[in-house]
C-alpha cells in the first residue's frame, strides 16, 4: 500500500470529515442490521439489498443526499468484504466505528487524470465534492483504480492508493521456508532466523504507557485530556507506520529468498491457540501472547502474510499447526514430553535438540497436514524434507 500525507485546506477538511461521518453512519447501520440476525431468521440483507436501502435512505435524509453516493456505497462494499473476511476466519467480526477513530472512506473508479503532480514534492488528487486536494509526493505514485482516505487519531490525513504490488520472482531453487509465530513479538523461521515485528523503542513505550495512565485520570472534556490524547495518538500512529514498513520490507525479502513460504493457517490457529493455552501445549506463552504484544504480533503478522500473498502469489501455503510443537523435525516422533520447556525441544525418541520455535518452524516448512483451503497448492509427500540449511541444535 502506498500511503501519502494528505494536506487538505480547512474547507476541504470539512468536506472530508463529512465523507468520513457518512461512511461511518452507513457502516454502523450495516453492523446493526447484521447484529439483528440470529440463526433461524431470514438472512441479514446482503450488499445489493443494502444498496437499495441506501437509495431509499438518501431520498429520505437531506444530510445523506448532500453527501457522495460513492462514499456511502463503498462503505457498504467494505462492510460486505469485512463479512467475507470474518466468515473466512482471517478477521474478527466487523464492529462499530467510532467518531475520531477508524475514520476514513474509499473512492473507486479513479482514472489517471484524477491524480497529477504539481512539483517534485507535491501532488494533487481529485476527491468528489472536495475538489483537488494536495498530498506529499513522497515516493512514486502507482497507477491505481481506487484509494482510501483516512484520518488518524492524531488528526493527520493520509491517502493510500490501492495497488497490488508486482509479484517478486523467487530464487527458483525450490527452497522452502516455514515460519512459526512463537514468542512475544517474534516469529521463528526454519532457517533459525527470528522475525521481530518492529515496535516502539522502550523509551517511547514507557512514554505511551505514562500517557495512557494520565489519560485515565484526566477529566472528561478537559483541555488536558485532549492534549494527552493527541500525544498518545501520535505515538500509536508512529508505531503503526513502523509496523507497516516492517511488513513491506520483510515480505519483499522473504518473497525474493524463498520459493515456497509456509505459514500457520490462521483459521486453525484461532481454534487451537489462545492466550490461555493451546490444545497441544496448554499455557504456552501465556504472558507474551496477551495484551499489547499479542495485538502487535497479530496485526503485524496478518499484514505480513497478506503482503506475502501479493508479492509471492501461489507460493504461500497455509499449514495446519497441530502438533508442530510436539513433533521432532528430525525423526518425526510426536510426543508432548519432547517439549522440555518453552524454549527447548529435545526429542525423547532420537535425542535431537533444537530451539522449540525453530523446531516448530521446521515442521511447518515440511508442510505436514497442509490444508487444501482457499486453493493453495497442496504440499508434496509428507516426508519431503525442506531444502534449507540445518542449524546446530
Ligand atoms: Zn526425534
pLDDT tens-digit map of 204-243: 889 988 998 888 888 788 888 888 888 888 888 888 888 8
Mean pLDDT for 184-205 is 82
Looking up cell 431468521 gives 41
Q: Compute the distance from residue 335 Cα to the ligand 1 centre, in Å.
A: 9
Mean pLDDT is lowest, of 113-117, 161-165, 268-272, 352-356, for 268-272
Buried b (16+ CB within 10 A) or exposed e, 18-44: bbbbbbbbbbbbbbeebeeeeeeeeeb
Q: Compute the distance from residue 338 Cα to the ligand 1 centre, in Å.
A: 9
- Split at pLDDT 50, 70, 90, the class of 87 is confident
Flag whether pLDDT at 183 surpasses 80.
no
Q: Compute the distance from residue 305 Cα to the ligand 1 centre, in Å.
A: 30
Those residues whose C-beta lies under 8 Å from the C-beta of residue 21, and which sit 6 or more positions away, are 99
Closest CA to 17 of 132, 100, 110, 111: 100
Q: Compute the distance from residue 343 Cα to the ligand 1 centre, in Å.
A: 17
Q: Compute the distance from residue 353 Cα to the ligand 1 centre, in Å.
A: 8
> Tell me, what's the pLDDT at 116?
93
C-alpha grid cell, residue 152: 488518524
The better pLDDT of the pair 3, 118 is held by 118
What value does the mean pLDDT of the chain take?
80
> Tell me, what's the pLDDT at 37?
67
> Tell me, what's the pLDDT at 276?
44
Flag whether pLDDT at 289 surpasses 50.
no
Q: Compute the distance from residue 159 Cα to the ligand 1 centre, in Å.
A: 52
Q: Compute the distance from residue 131 Cα to the ligand 1 centre, in Å.
A: 66
Flag whether pLDDT at 382 surpasses 60.
no
Give the helix ranges, DSSP H, for 168-283: 202-217, 223-257, 266-272
pLDDT tens-digit profile of 8-25?
Answer: 999 999 999 999 999 999
- Split at pLDDT 50, 70, 90, the class of 90 is low
> Tell me, what's the pLDDT at 178?
92
Q: Compute the distance from residue 334 Cα to the ligand 1 centre, in Å.
A: 8
Closest CA to 386 of 175, 171, 173, 172: 175
Q: Compute the distance from residue 349 Cα to the ligand 1 centre, in Å.
A: 5
Q: Are 286 and 275 spatial neighbours (Cβ–Cβ below 8 Å)?
A: yes
Q: Compute the distance from residue 333 Cα to the ligand 1 centre, in Å.
A: 5
% of the chain residues with pLDDT over 90: 26
pTM value > 0.85: no
Flag whether pLDDT at 182 surpasses 70.
no
Judged by DSSP in three states, 148 sits in strand
Q: Compute the distance from residue 192 Cα to the ligand 1 centre, in Å.
A: 18
Q: Compute the distance from residue 328 Cα to the ligand 1 centre, in Å.
A: 5
Q: Following CA atoms 77, 82, 88, 89 in sequence, which dihedral angle do they give, to the nearest 10 degrees?
A: 180
Mean pLDDT is lowest, of 81-90, 140-149, 184-193, 314-323, for 81-90
> Tell me, what's the pLDDT at 241?
81
Q: Compute the distance from residue 195 Cα to the ligand 1 centre, in Å.
A: 25
> Tell me, what's the pLDDT at 40?
67
Q: Compute the distance from residue 352 Cα to the ligand 1 centre, in Å.
A: 5
Report phi then psi at 84, rounded to 5: -60, -45
> Tell me, what's the pLDDT at 339?
86
Q: Compute the distance from residue 138 Cα to the ligand 1 centre, in Å.
A: 52
% of the chain residues with pLDDT over 70: 80
Q: Compute the distance from residue 350 Cα to the ligand 1 centre, in Å.
A: 4
Q: How far apart are CA 297 and CA 273, in angstroms?
A: 14
The terminus-to-terminus CA distance of the chain in angstroms comes to: 39
Q: Compute the distance from residue 345 Cα to the ligand 1 centre, in Å.
A: 10
Q: Compute the distance from residue 383 Cα to the ligand 1 centre, in Å.
A: 14
Q: Compute the distance from residue 84 Cα to the ligand 1 centre, in Å.
A: 41
Flag whether pLDDT at 326 surpasses 60.
yes
Amino acid at each position: 500500500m502506498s500511503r501519502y500525507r494528505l494536506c487538505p485546506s480547512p474547507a476541504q477538511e470539512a468536506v472530508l470529515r463529512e465523507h468520513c461521518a457518512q461512511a461511518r453512519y452507513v457502516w454502523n447501520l450495516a453492523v446493526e442490521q447484521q447484529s439483528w440476525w440470529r440463526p433461524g431468521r431470514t438472512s441479514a440483507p446482503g450488499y445489493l439489498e443494502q444498496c437499495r436501502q441506501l437509495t431509499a435512505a438518501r431520498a429520505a435524509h437531506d444530510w445523506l443526499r448532500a453527501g457522495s453516493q460513492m462514499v456511502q456505497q463503498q462503505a457498504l462494499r467494505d462492510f460486505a468484504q469485512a463479512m467475507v473476511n470474518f466468515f473466512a476466519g482471517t478477521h474478527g467480526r466487523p464492529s462499530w466505528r467510532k467518531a475520531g477513530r477508524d475514520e476514513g472512506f474509499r473512492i473507486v473508479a479513479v482514472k489517471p487524470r484524477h491524480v497529477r503532480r504539481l512539483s517534485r514534492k507535491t501532488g494533487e488528487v481529485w476527491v468528489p465534492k472536495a475538489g483537488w486536494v494536495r498530498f506529499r509526493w513522497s515516493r512514486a505514485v502507482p497507477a491505481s483504480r481506487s484509494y482510501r482516505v483516512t484520518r488518524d487519531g492524531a488528526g493527520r490525513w493520509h491517502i493510500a492508493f490501492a495497488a497490488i504490488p508486482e509479484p517478486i520472482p523467487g530464487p527458483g531453487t525450490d527452497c522452502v521456508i516455514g515460519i512459526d509465530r512463537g514468542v512475544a513479538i517474534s516469529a521463528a523461521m526454519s532457517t533459525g532466523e527470528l522475525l521481530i515485528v518492529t515496535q516502539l523503542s522502550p523509551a517511547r513505550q514507557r512514554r505511551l504507557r505514562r500517557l495512557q495512565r494520565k489519560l485515565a485520570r484526566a477529566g472528561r472534556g478537559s483541555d488536558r485530556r485532549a492534549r494527552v490524547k493527541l500525544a498518545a495518538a501520535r505515538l500509536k500512529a508512529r508505531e503503526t507506520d513502523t509496523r507497516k514498513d516492517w511488513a513491506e520490507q520483510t515480505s519483499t525479502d522473504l518473497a525474493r529468498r524463498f520459493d515456497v513460504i509456509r505459514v500457520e493457517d490462521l483459521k486453525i490457529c484461532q481454534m487451537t491457540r489462545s492466550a490461555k493455552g493451546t490444545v497441544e501445549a496448554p499455557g504456552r506463552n501465556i504472558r507474551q501472547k496477551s495484551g499489547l504484544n499479542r495485538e502487535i504480533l497479530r496485526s503485524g503478522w496478518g499484514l505480513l502474510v497478506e503482503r506475502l500473498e501479493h508479492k509471492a502469489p501461489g507460493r504461500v501455503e497455509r499449514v495446519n499447526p497441530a502438533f508442530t510443537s510436539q513433533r521432532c523435525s528430525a525423526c518425526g516422533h510426536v510426543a508432548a514430553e519432547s517439549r522440555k520447556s518453552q524454549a527447548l525441544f529435545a526429542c525423547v525418541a532420537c535425542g535431537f535438540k533444537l530451539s522449540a520455535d525453530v523446531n516448530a518452524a521446521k515442521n511447518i516448512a515440511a508442510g505436514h497436514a497442509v490444508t487444501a483451503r482457499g486453493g493453495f497448492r497442496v504440499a508434496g509427500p509428507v516426508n519431503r524434507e525442506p531444502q534449507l540449511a540445518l542449524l546446530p541444535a
